[in-house]
Amino acid sequence: MMARQAERYDHVYITLKLQEGSTWNWVKAHNWSETGFNFFFNGRLAKGEQFTFKKALHQFPGTLVWKCDVPTREQLYHMAINSLLTRRFKERISAQGFDKDFIDLLRSEAVGDKLDYARKFLGFNISKTMLDDEITHHKWDEVSRYGVQMQDENWGKVVKAALGYSAGLLELDQIQQSQFVHLSKL
């Protein structure tokens, strides 16, 4: 297995198709780089297997190098909260434009802050029932997370394109990180 030496990106995900037998399934590549990515999938795939992935006209092989079974209940609730907030955020974008603070909130691990924000600024309370419904709707409690190793020039083209399309968000992330580092030195 290759070492994780390449910088990984998670400011956006990359939508891909995964070929499982004769069926193509949609997956979202997270924590991606030129050497690989990880994704959630509700099928049972075997570590060490090679699969074909596709983005637009580009196809590329990838090898599953690790697997993490069904997420914990806490992780599932975190995913559901982000999903509910994102849905409300889409309504805000059309009405108010881009909100960097909201993006930062989605990326944080602070569940309490997210629940407070939903109540104070978006006008809704997120209940346990809402979270359970969201988890059931997306079938997140049936998924596993997989890590893929890539060694294909077509995957490299997809990564380069994603970095180009998302340069603005990446720049915001870098500014935020540099400000945090600067503040921590004070």
Same domain, 97 and 149: no
Same domain, 83 and 108: yes
CATH code: domain of residue 171? 2.40.10.220
Same domain, 134 and 46: no
How far apart (Å, rounded) are the C-alpha atoms in residues 148 and 62?
A: 6
Same domain, 79 and 169: no
Same domain, 77 and 65: no
Would 128 be classed as within a structural domain? yes
Higher pLDDT, 94 or 140: 140
Same domain, 133 and 155: no
Higher pLDDT, 140 or 175: 140
Would 100 be classed as within a structural domain? yes
Say what the pLDDT of residue 7 is.
82
Across the chain, what does the average pLDDT equal?
Answer: 82
Say what the pLDDT of residue 131 is.
92
Would 19 be classed as within a structural domain? yes
How far apart (Å, rounded) are the C-alpha atoms in residues 121 and 108?
A: 17
Higher pLDDT, 14 or 117: 14
Number of domains in the chain: 2
Would 1 be classed as within a structural domain? no
Q: Which domain holds residue 18?
A: 14-70+143-175
Comparing CA positions, the residue from 57, 55, 50 lying closest to residue 16 is 55
Same domain, 18 and 110: no
How far apart (Å, rounded) are the C-alpha atoms in residues 88 and 51?
A: 35
Which run of H or of E encompasses 49? none
How far apart (Å, rounded) are the C-alpha atoms in residues 176 and 129?
A: 34
Same domain, 116 and 151: no
Would 111 be classed as within a structural domain? yes
Same domain, 28 and 79: no
pLDDT category at 17 given cuts 50, 70, 90 is very high
Would 113 be classed as within a structural domain? yes
The average pLDDT across 5-27 equals 89
Confidence (pTM)? 0.61
Same domain, 38 and 19: yes
In the chain, % of residues over pLDDT 70? 80
Does residue 1 register a pLDDT over 70?
A: no
Say what the pLDDT of residue 44 is.
85
